[in-house]
Every structure is written in C-alpha cells, then in structure tokens.
Structure 1
C-alpha cells in the first residue's frame, strides 16, 4: 500500500523538534480502554506518543510506513517499532486494547484503517484519532509573525489534507460510538531555535522551498528573531488538541 510521504526527508528534525503530548492525554485514553495489555500506535513517526503510552500499557506496538521515521525513533523497553502501513498492522485478531493515530489520520486510507482496527480490537477497545492545531505564542507580536507565515506565506503550499487538522478532524469519517474526552492542549516552553526547528518540519515549508528557494523561509526567521527579544528568552507555545475517540 502506497502512502503520502511528506516527512521521511526530515525525520531527524521531526524527532528533535516535534512537540510532546501531555500525560493527561495518555491517562484519559488508558482510563477509557477495557484493559492495558497492548496499545497500537499507528503512523507513529518517531515515537512521540508511543513512549508515553508505555507508561500506562504493558506493551506498545508502534508502526510507521516510513523506514526513515523508524530509524529515528525514541527507544523504550516496552515499545516495539516496525515499518508497516497504518492500515496493515499485522497484529493478531482481537489483541489490542487501544489504537491511536496521532497527527496522521488525515494522510491515511481511513476505510482500510478502520477495517484493520476492527480486526485487531478486543471487545470494547478504544480508537483515538488525535491532532494538534495551529500553534499560538504567548506574545501578541510574535504570534502575529507566526500566523502570517503559516497562513499567508505557506498558505498555498499546505497539502489539501491540512484542512482536516485545522477543523480538528470533525469532518473525517468516523463510524464508531463516540467516547467523551477532556479538553486538552500541548503547552511547551521553547526558545527561538526550538520554534524555528519545528517550523522547518512542516510539509508546506518543504514545498515552498522547492518552489521558491530558502528566501521566504529565511525572511520569516529573521523577522521572528528580531521580534523575539533577548536571544535566550523562552516563550510559552500552545497547540489545541482535538480527539475523535470511539469504542470499537
């Protein structure tokens, strides 16, 4: 099965600069699951969520179709990583208590994913599609610089699937009885280099660079640095989390 590979070429940056999910997300999912023997993290990237799931589940299987992403995973004694499409986990039937897809469901063939989820899920297992939206910075001037870059400079270069992230996955096909989840967000204290490194992982930034070169990206980075203030200052960055959780 072919997959839309927007991230293999920057797998190292993805591992270094993508934000970490809050522990409250894992707690909510684990509390909803019928047991905590096995979690499956599909399209796991470099394991940002996988290692957190291992805090609450005895075993975690984490799969990604990109060998480059798996080459940069975060190792953990209770996490087994493998290169496999999200839609083909190859796990035994009725073996999984929780299936997660974090920041990736909008790239997947959802009917095929759901067929595999139904096959591997134990009775009452939870499926959670998780996405974080557009970041905001706790400084109005900096946030304005970021929103212009995201919406105006990069706007034409975002893949069409990005609209699903922006609407919190509300319009994605999801044929499972809903399970209520708390309102959550990712919050990080970042320096300037952290934020720039994160924006360099965006698929739209790579598409812009291919089309126009590094000029627009460097101009944004220079404006951001000039607005940042003290070079060693740290800012609070916040991403709203959206979940579609259901019982299989």
Structure 2
C-alpha cells in the first residue's frame, strides 16, 4: 500500500485550525495505562496529542510522514519528533507503554501498522485509536454543511475517509481487553474560524488543486446571513477504541 500524505501542502492551515481533544479523553487513557515512561504518538501532525501526553509521560516519541507538519509541531523538552511511516519505525522492540493515533488510522496500511505496534509495544501496553465525525451546529446550518460535505466535496474525499464515517467499524482491531468510548468536543467559533477549519480538509485542498478555486467560498455565501456576527457552538463527536497488548 502506498503511503498517503494529504496534509504537507497546507501544514500552516492545519497547525492553526485543526481541533484538539477534550481532557476527558486523556483522563480515560491515563486510567487504563499502567506505566507512564514512554509514549508514541503516531501521525502526530502538529503535535497536539504529543504535547498533551508529554505532561504525563517521561518521554514522548511523535512521528509523521510529513516533515512540513513536524516543522509546525509543538516543542516540548521531552518530545522527540521523527519523520517516518506508521508501518515502519526506527524504534526498538518493546519500547512503549502507550501508542496513540488520532484522526489518522484510516490513511494507514492498518495490518502493517498493527504488526509494528506489536513489535514496539511493551507487554501490557495500551493502543488507542480515535477519530471524530462530522460537525453538528443547528437545524438551519447542518443541512448546508452536509450538502457541502456530501455533494460538493464528496467526490474529492479519498476512499479511506469512509472509515471515519463508520467509526473504524471495518478496520480490524486484533487486541485484548478492547474498550470503546465516546467523547464530545465543543468549540465556540465565528464563521471565519469555521471556514478555515474546512480548508484543512484534504478533500477541499484536492478540489482547489483540480479547479483552481476555493469551494469553501460557497459555504461562506450560504452561511453569511444565517450564522450571524458572533460565535456558534460547534459539536464534534469523538469515537475511541483502545486495547491491550
């Protein structure tokens, strides 16, 4: 399977406008993780998960295939960033107490990644994989959003995106003591902030490359009157699965 990199070309946007994850998610991970010496955050992007883990683990190794993303990553003294694929890393056998993957598993060769996880995880380590689904705002804005997501941008999503829509149900998870948890991310955003979040999508960037114009401007036109001048509460549903090695 070829390595897929859909984010290097807009690393600046990604670093500024992608969401982070709720404290409750990290509290749950800490509650099921025994030792807290070494963590690996795979496909770290701009390092937001690595940064959160660094407050609780002695050291964090964070990897991504995109050097451009890592150039924008959060810097902490106990985080080491490495450019490498998820499926083949430079780490020693039995290195990590926890391995995390946030909103990225669907881009991997998951069988190869899980083999690598088994190699580098300590006995009893935790693997946590999570993602988040489509936003929910209100009954007026949501239909406009879903038309954009499914009709205007729909043809420009990679096939892998469907794994997020079905919450990784079709991706095997061959580990023990598997648990599933749901969380919610709430954000208060004005319209400009919301539109720039949409521009971090790989599908939007693909549309721009192919057509030379920005499809998010359609959303801006549709929402400029119904959104209003202030901020809206935006809900992101988060799904997580975790297992023990």
Q: TM-score range by the shorter chain?
A: over 0.9
Summarize deviations over 1:182-203 as a string: whole Å, max 9, x none: 3212211112121111100111
Which secondary structure does the structure 2 equivalent of 1:184 belong to?
A: strand
Task: Give 2:22's aligned residue.
Answer: 22
Any unmatched runs of 5+ in structure 1? none
CA displacement at 1:2 relative to structure 2:
4.8
Q: Distance in 2 between matches of 1:107 and 1:178?
A: 25
* Residue pair 1:209, 1:217 contacting (<8 A) in 2 also: no
CA contact (8 A) 1:47 1:73 kept: yes
On the 8 A contact 1:169/1:243 being kept in 2, the answer is no
**SS of corresponding position for 2:159:** coil
Determine which of 214, 234, 237 is the counterpart of 1:237. Answer: 234
SS in 1 for 2:176: coil
Q: 1:210 deviation in Å?
A: 2.7
CA contact (8 A) 2:195 2:216 kept: no
1:28–1:181 CA contact under 8 A, matched in 2: no
Aligned to 1:193: 192
TM-score normalised per structure 2: 0.95
The corresponding residue for 1:175 is: 174
- 1:179 partner SS: strand
Greater mean deviation of Cα atoms: 7-16 or 177-186: 177-186
- Tell me, in whole angstroms, the C-alpha distance in 2 between the residues paired with 1:102 and 1:182: 14
Q: Distance in 2 between matches of 1:229 and 1:52?
A: 34
1:140 matched residue in structure 2:
139
Checking the alignment, whether the CA contact within 8 Å between 2:181 and 2:240 is kept in structure 1 is: no
**Distance verdict in 2 for CA 1:131–1:247, change over 3 Å:** same
Partner SS for 2:106:
helix
Q: Distance in 2 between matches of 1:144 and 1:185?
A: 20
Tell me which moved more, 160-169 or 214-223: 214-223
Tell me if the contact between 2:8 and 2:69 (Cα under 8 Å) persists in the aligned partners: yes
SS of the residue 1:187 aligns to: strand
After superposition, the CA RMSD in angstroms is 1.5
Give the secondary structure class of the aligned counterpart of 1:49: helix
Q: How far is the alpha carbon of 1:101 from its aligned partner?
A: 0.9
Matched, 1:98 2:110: no
- Counterpart of 1:211 in structure 2 is 210
Q: How does 1:146-157 map to 2 (within 5 A)?
A: 146-157=145-156
**Shift, 1:171, TM fit:** 1.1
Is residue 128–residue 246 contact of structure 1 (8 Å, CA) maintained in 2? yes
Partners in 2 of 1:182 and 1:115 — Cα distance? 24
Name 1:51's counterpart in structure 2: 51
- CA deviations 1:144-173 (Å, max 9, x no partner) are 221111111111111100000001111102
- Aligned CA distance change for structure 1 residues 130 and 215 (closer, same or farther; 3 Å): closer
